[in-house]
Structure formats: structure tokens, C-alpha cells
Chain A
Amino acid sequence: MSTTVGIPRALLYYHYYPAWEAFFQTLGADIVLSDETTKLILDRGIRDAVDEACLPVKLYLGHVANLRDKGVDCIFTPRVVSVEPKKYLCPKFLGLPEIVRFCVANVPELLTIEINVEQKYKQSVKELLKLASRFDRRPGKAEAALVAAESAQAKYESKLQEGFTPAEALAGQEKKHASSKMRVAVLGHAYNLNDPFISVNLFGKLRELGAEVVTSEMLQPQEIAAGTQSLEKDMFWTFGHQLMGAGNFLLEEGSIEGMVLVASFGCGPDSLVCELVERTYKRHHTVPVLLITLDEHTGEAGLITRLEAFVDMLQWRKAI
């Protein structure tokens, strides 16, 4: 019987799942995804995590517990330090395997390789190959798994750039949403925006209100880079760089009517990045911003009211 690898449907799942899936499947492992987020999953995470942890980390722990309860053989909890030169993920990703190990009881084996492009590129590749050989020792298999992962990821990212959100691309959606004159950017962590439970289905709500949603994943890397050009010092966080770059680029391009900025309560980087984006927009005051801070108690009703009011305001602005 093949080994079952559990993958939490949280955090970097929204960024790299296609690569992970191709990697493990090439090696003959069975992937088990945690269930879609429910209140129960979130509550479990909240119970296990330290109080001050950010919402996404709490949720991650809930998904790990969900996988444990499904009886998987191991759970993939990589330590992703850096995915590009000179940039890092936030400290919680650096200590994620430990947060899991010490907060969730009775976890099965954790697959915790380190991905660190900035400081230890070669070592990271080695760790991937070593991880692969744990599943399939036949010569060439590990390399084949890496190639498969890379091509799956490339395909995924080009799909995102075509205008699909991560959630849609992951669900294999083929049909694009209708475009609209009312283009609204929604910027924030992919793991918040694409989890309908956590974001209270923000994308869906905006579309119902007649808006076309633009996210940072839909932009080309060079567009993001252009957006960060005006910074005196580039952001050293990959996600912060993306958010800042997308925000500035869309503002300068003048193609959006409004921007919804979604921060996580307790998120370190967000506390600074969102502040800067908001300030930039305020200085220009051409595009209105709605700032939403998601926490454990974000209620659907309150959010809908705020979104409706925001979209109404955008429409009036267009009318006059």
C-alpha cells in the first residue's frame, strides 16, 4: 500500500499545491487533502495555537489536526524560508514545522524540508531529492518528480496570469468571469482571499455586486517589479513585495476603480505593508481603498454591508 501524504489546505497550499501534487504523485504517494475550512477546523486551530498567532497560522494548525484525525501516514509541512533571491517569507514560515510539532498533539511524521533559495539553494534541491528518495528509490525518479513539479507549477502560474484566482485555478475552472467596467483590486494574502470561509466569500460577493476582481497573481512579474520601483528600499518579504508592487502598479496604470485591502489580524508584515499601500493611495487620492482586517470573528453580515457601501460609492464616483 502506498504512503499517504497529508497536505493542509491552508497557507502555501494556495501558492504551490500543483507542484506538490505533481511531486508526490510522480513518486507514487497518495495525497490526502484536509477538508475545506469549517468552523470546527478553525476552532481547533485556535485552541491549539498560542493566542497571539495570526489567523492563517491558527487555521493551518486546525487543518493539520484534521489530517491527523484522518490517519494519514505523514504530513507535508515544509520550512519555506525563501523562494527567490534577497526575499523571505515571514518568520512564522521559518518556524512553521516547530509550531506544528509543539502545538498539535499526536501529529504523525512531519515531512519538513527546508526551501531556502536566498541562502541555501543547492541544499534545498538536495533536501527535495532526499525527500523524494524516501518514497521511491529508483534512479531518476526523484529528478522526474522535480521536473513534474516544476512544469505543473508553471502551468498553474500561467493560468493565474490569465485571470483566474488561485481558488479557481485549483478547482480547475475553465470559464472566465465576465469582465466589467467596475474593476476592483483585491489585495491580501492568497491564503486569506481564497479560502471562502475565512474571506467570507469576498470574491463572490464582489462579483455579485457587479465588480470584476483583480488580484496580484493576475499580474506579470515585471508589472509587480515596476510597481516597487518607486520604493526607496525594496520589500524583503515575497508577499509584501507582491502586494506593494501590485498596489502601486494598478494605481499608476489607472485601470481600477477601487481597491479592497485585506489584512490579517496579528500579521506582522501586513501591519506595515498595508499601511504603506494605504498611504500611497491616500496621497494620490484617485482610487478609494477599503481596508478589511480579518479575524476570528469576521462576520458575514458586517462585511457585506461594508462591501455594498464601498461598491455603491464607486458607482457614484463613476456617475459624476
Chain B
Amino acid sequence: MKVTYPHLGSMSVAMHGLFTDLGLDVIPPPPITKKTINLGVMHAPEFACFPLKINMGNFIEALEAGADTIVMAGGTGPCRFGYYAQVQREILRDMGYDFKMIVLEPPQGQLSGLIGELKELCGENRWPTTVNAVHTMWRKIKAMDKLHARLLQLRPRELEQGAITTAYKKGVALLATAHTPKDVNRLYSRALTLLNSVPCNYEKSVLRLGLVGEIYMLLEPYANLQVEKLLGEMGVEVERSIYISHWIREHLILSSLHIKGSRATKNAAAPYLNHFVGGHGWESIGDTVRYAHRGYDGVIHILPFTCTPEIVAQSILPTVSRQEGIPILSFSLDEQSGEAGFRTRLEAFLDLLQQRKTKQRFGT
């Protein structure tokens, strides 16, 4: 069995680790490039949402590289994501690939299904090996998420452009070598030290922006045109509202108990939207309100073109912006989005925020 999986930002590192620790042969999908996107777009349904297309590109490239088993997450709806794997499998079959697709469905109150699927992967492993592998992955994800948050704080303050990104990459590479939860703790401290020892100007006053929107687009830098890096290097401190550790908590653990989203976010969203709308549409509203309350300078909303839950959010956000007094810039991205236009719109937005901030400071 040669296992592969879809890319999702730093999550790929954790997946690779998990399968390796389970003793499986892993064929990671090659890094996402223009070719990946083109392959995905060529074979995916024309109007499917962008993440599905990128996944397809990953799968095709990994199968070409020799993978024969795809591990993919499932879902119970109402959003399209829960049916991605089904559509992808049929398309890949029609393309003539011979492979097995293992879909990890969220437990829905009963754990038996999920355990059964995991067992297929774990094979001969004894229970402690499996537990160790899963536990290590979970710690790794949390550690990478913390490291990432730190990266975002420091990037606008670095004295030498790119230094912090380099340190972060080294940190992630360190974490990738962990095979036990203890390793993770040890390596995380080292990784954090790496970041913290990059020369920075901690006194610098920076704009602070919140990043909200659809999870895949927020987590996968290739998909979001590296928005965090772009903004960071333009001197903006970005806070991302969603991390993969949150998603796993919600999707795989809490959803089985019918708990969705964080209470604080829900409460903040309530005056505008008091109901789950699939994906992260509800969170997009709630987190935007919270950024306003926390005095952020603005919010960037990122969604894949035609993303259903985020279109609900998009319908509400202009009112949130007006009533909460926080500027919002919404980007709907897909394979056709160009970096140049993206950059220009970001710069114009930042200019506006800077003027606004200066005005507020001098009370004019």
C-alpha cells in the first residue's frame, strides 16, 4: 500500500508523519504548482469549488508518482466538501487509475465507522503504535499552529525581509522529524527559539488585519496567493481566524456531539446570523465582529469562487462592516485569479486603512 493524501498547508507535514509512524509507505503529493492546478482544473467538474480542483491535481500527481491509496476526509453536509471524495473517486476511476480511496467520515455519534476506516490503514499495527502515531500527529498539528501564529506576529517586524519565513520553515522541518509526543515538545521549543531569535523591531507600530473565510483557502498558501506573506511583508500583522487544530476539534470530535463552532464566535455573530450555514460561513461573520471588537484595523475575507456558505457570509458582511465600523475586503479566488490584481487591491486597501488610522489618531 502506497498512501497519499491532499495538501492542506502545514497539515501535509502532519499527515506524512502519521502515515510514516503507522509504518506505511507514503507518497506525498508533489508540491502544488501551476501544473497541479491545470491538471485539477482539466479533470474536475467545471463549476466545482476550487479546493476540489486542487485536491484532484494532488491526487493525479501522486498517483502518477506511484501512490495506490488515497486518504481523504468526508463529511455529512450540507456543504460540498462532504461529497468531494465521492466525486473525485469516480473521476479518477474514469481516468483509468487503479487505486483505493479511504474516506475518513466524521463519527456522527458513532465511532465504529471511523475506527473501521483507521483499522484498514493501521493493518498489522499493535494498538500502542497506532495510538502513539495519532497522538504525535495531534501534538504536531497543535505545535505547528502555534508556530504559525507566532510567524504571523513577527513577520511585519523582521529587520531583514524573508528571515522569519526561513526560520519558520526550519522550525516546521524540525517538527516533521518528531515521532513521539515528547519529541514534539522538545522540538517545538527549539523551533520557537529559532523564530524568536530572528532580529525584529518589536516597537514598530503595524496595521493589524484579521483573516476570515473558507478553511481550505485560508490554510493553503498556494490557493490564497500567499496572502499572509504578502501582507506580512507589507508590514501588516495578520491573525488567521482558523487553524487546522480547530477544524479537527470541530469536525472530528465535536461534530459527533453536535457541537459546532466556538461559543464566543457564535455569540458575536448572533445579531447578524444566528445559525450554522455550512462550512465556515457562520464563523466568518462571528470572527469579523470579534476583530472589530478587538480593535483590528480591518478584515480580509477569502472564499473560493461560488463557495456556498461564504456567499451567505458575503451577503451579510457589508452590513457588519458598516455597523461594526470595520473595513472588509472580500476576495473570491479560483484558478484564474492573478497575483498582480490581487496585490494591487491589497495595497489600495492598506492605504485606506492607514489613512483611517492616522485620522483616528489625530481625531480629525
Contact = CB atoms under 8 A, between A and B. Distances in A.
A268 B87 contact: no
A253 interface: no
B155 to A, nearest CB: 31
Contacts, number: 121
A170 B180 CA distance: 65
Contacts of B84: 272
Contacts of B87: 272, 275-276
Contact of A279 (B94, B273, B308): B94
Given A89-B78, A95-B273, A95-B312, A271 B306 contact: yes
Interface string B276-301: 11110100000000000000000000
B215 interface: no
Contacts of A102: 272, 315-316, 318-319
A94 B276 contact: yes
Contacts of B273: 95, 98
Contact of A236 (B76, B94, B314): B76
A237 B79 CA distance: 9
Given A50-B314, A91-B312, A271 B49 contact: yes
A96 B295 CA distance: 30
Contacts of B80: 268-269, 271-272
Interface string B182-205: 000000000000000000000000
A176 B84 CA distance: 40
Interface residues of A, number: 43
A49 interface: yes
A53 interface: yes
B47 interface: yes
A119 B258 contact: yes
Interface string B34-69: 000000000001111100100000000000000000
B311 A52 contact: yes
Nearest to B75: A236
9 contacts: A86-B76, A87-B77, A94-B278, A95-B275, A98-B275, A232-B89, A233-B103, A237-B78, A271-B48
Interface of A: 49-50, 52-54, 79, 81, 86-92, 94-95, 98-99, 102-103, 114, 119, 231-233, 235-237, 263, 265-272, 274-276, 279, 283, 293
Interface of B: 45-49, 52, 74, 76-80, 82-84, 86-87, 89-91, 94, 103, 258, 272-273, 275-279, 281, 305-309, 311-312, 314-316, 318-319, 332
